[in-house]
Homo-oligomer: A and B are copies of this chain.
Amino acid sequence: MKPSTIREQIRSGKHKSHTSGVANDYVQANLAIVPKEYAFDFLLFANRNPKSCPIIDVLEAGEVESVLAAGSDIRSDIPQYFVYEYGKLTKKVHDLKEIWRDDFVSFLIGCSFTFESQLLKEGVPLKHIEQNKNVAMYITNCQTKPAGQFSGPVVVSMRPIKNELVQKAIDVTAQFPNMHGSPVHVGNPKEIGIKDISKPDFGEFVEIAEGETPVFWECGVTPQSAAIHSQIPYVITHAPGHMFITDVTNEEFLRDRT
């Protein structure tokens, strides 16, 4: 199915579930919306933490169409949104039309679906996909570089990789500097402050078998988490796994942005 067709189904309420495995060849994006008053600090936070927060498009105050998706409407083209007021989750909605404000600035942030698709193509198996699980995510003891009111720990995703494929996984993901890029850490979870690898902070645990190494990448949850913890009056994000699907293929993105 074409991305525009899927966005239409999402918009009309026919597709309300997550977007993992949907339109696999196309770039999907995380979303963070903040009022314009906080947009400079958020963009600066992203600039200072580019591996966690790869901004792939910014919709200026009140704009609803992304240049990455012709005819799209950011208020309706994501299957589920989370609304946070002063740091508290207050609403889960399928549509922002009732709460939309003209001072809302929308940030689309790169997502690991892009490099996962390339890892699979290059013969690096991903167990969470084989097991149909959400990737395991952990809060680390590494700190982001703060900007204005935004700060907090780096959040990482973990994928168990066969020892002999670790270098390949590094090389493949390094090709995507605008989609989290190369791993932030390889090996012992304790070195980045993860006490119990079997208990992720978000997502689901995937066992690390004999002959596999845990490999950690920076994660788009980092800027969302910083935005929520800043306790600014209003932050809207996509619900986990419910992404914005663009018209740009992973390959086009790789070619154009690197």
Contact = CB atoms under 8 A, between A and B. Distances in A.
A193 interface: no
A105 B40 CA distance: 10
A47 B44 CA distance: 10
Contacts of A39: 40
A149 to B, nearest CB: 11
A235 interface: no
Interface residues of A, number: 13
Contacts of A126: none
A147 interface: yes
Contacts of A58: 44, 47
A55 B40 CA distance: 14
7 contacts: A36-B40, A43-B47, A44-B58, A47-B47, A47-B55, A60-B147, A60-B148
Interface of A: 36, 39-41, 43-44, 47, 55, 58, 60, 105, 147-148
